[in-house]
Amino acid sequence: MSKLKSIWVFHLNTGACNGCDIEVLDIFTPYYDVERLGVKLVGSPRHAHALLVTGPLTRQCVYAAKRAYEAMPPSPRIVIAVGTCACSGGIFYDSYSIYRVSPRDTLEYPRRGGIEEILPVDIYIPGCPPRPEEILYGLALLKGIVEKRVKQEYQREEEESITLPENITIEERIKLDLRCSLRKIVGYFDRDAILEDFMKLVEKAKDTDNEEAVLHNLVEEYCRKVSDSRIRFCIRFLEKEYWRVRRRYEEMVPSKINIA
């Protein structure tokens, strides 16, 4: 994609609950002022470089989404999926009203059900809803200015004090913590499928001499086999999160940890 000096964006809601739309509008307010990056909201797809889609792809909207895409100038025709719903169907992934041509009966993932069903997506901005900062970051990536002006930084909430689980084992507790963290970056269906795969790798690394290195190699091997960058991102995220959570429990109850 040639570098664009400005991006004119047409916002299309294909069934969103309005949460994502509010965050999208927020980036155009004076506080975030995305127009300073040359991103402008336009009223017609005929004037747009990019289609910014929010919400799962509902059956009612398939025709309108196709028409909007076809109405755009032939190049560069960028599609930006904002929100977990637009990325994978989100919480509505199995709803009857969602348009899906990918197989319903198989457990394929990343789950489809978003705009990807009918249009090629260039940028995925997950989150339910994503924060304005995340949308800005996605747009800055698209414009190719992010390396120049923004350095990558992970932010996390303050570590809250936790009480030890009583009715469940610490192994299960770690899995629940991972599930909870993964919720922030991936859709509900994909989360469980990806976590299941990751826990199999943890199981394989169990009882080896250098568990951390073995798990890392297994993760890398897994990532080489999958072509989807979203899955690779999630698996690597899980690896980091796994050691963080596990060490926290190890400090609390060194004798009880025996998972791997």
Phi, psi of 98 (to 5 degrees): -90, 135
Residue 79's φ and ψ, nearest 5 degrees, are -120, 125
- Report in angstroms how near the CB of residue 110 gets to ligand SF4 at its nearest: 14
- In whole angstroms, how close is the CB of 121 to ligand SF4 at the nearest point? 15
57 contacts ligand SF4 (rule: CB under 6 A): no
Q: Does 20 bind ligand SF4 (CB under 6 A)?
A: yes
Please check whether residue 124 is in contact with residue 81, taking contact to mean a CB–CB distance below 8 angstroms.
Answer: yes
Residue 185 lies near ligand SF4 (rule: CB under 6 A): no
> Which of 16, 68, 81, 193 contacts ligand SF4 by CB under 6 A?
16
Identify any residues that bridge with 194 across adjacent strands, giving them in sequence order: none
User: Binding segment for ligand SF4 among 11-19, 45-53, 177-185, 238-246 (CB under 6 A)?
Assistant: 11-19
Q: Among all chains, which residue has been given the structure tokens 């001499």? A: 209
Q: Which of 71, 128, 141, 223 binds ligand SF4 (CB under 6 A)?
A: 128
Structural contact between residues 78 and 123, judged by C-beta atoms closer than 8 angstroms: yes
Task: Count helices and strands (H / E) in the chain.
Answer: 9, 5
Q: Which is nearer to ligand SF4, 45 or 83 (CB)?
A: 83
Q: Is residue 129 a contact residue for ligand SF4 (CB under 6 A)?
A: yes
| φ/ψ bin of 83: left (φ > 0), alpha (ψ from -120 to 50), beta (otherwise) | left
Min dist CB 52 to ligand SF4, Å, is 13
Question: Does 138 participate in binding ligand SF4 (rule CB under 6 A)?
Answer: no
Please identify, using beta-carbon distances, which residue of 65 and 245 lies nearer to ligand SF4: 65
How many CA atoms does the CB half-sphere of 53 hold within 13 Å?
37
Q: Kindly tell me which of 91 and 257 has the beta carbon lying closer to ligand SF4.
A: 91
Residue nearest to ligand SF4 (CB): 19
For every residue of 131-184, DSSP letters joined together read PHHHHHHHHHHHHT-HHHH-------PPPPP-PPPSSS-HHHHHHHHHHHHHTT
- Using CB under 6 A as the binding rule, whether residue 7 contacts ligand SF4 is answered as no
3-state secondary structure of 128: coil
Site for ligand SF4 in 68-127 (CB under 6 A): 83-85, 90-91
Which of 34, 50, 52, 55 is in the footprint of ligand SF4 by CB under 6 A? 55
Site for ligand SF4, rule CB under 6 A: 16-17, 19-20, 54-55, 83-85, 90-91, 128-129
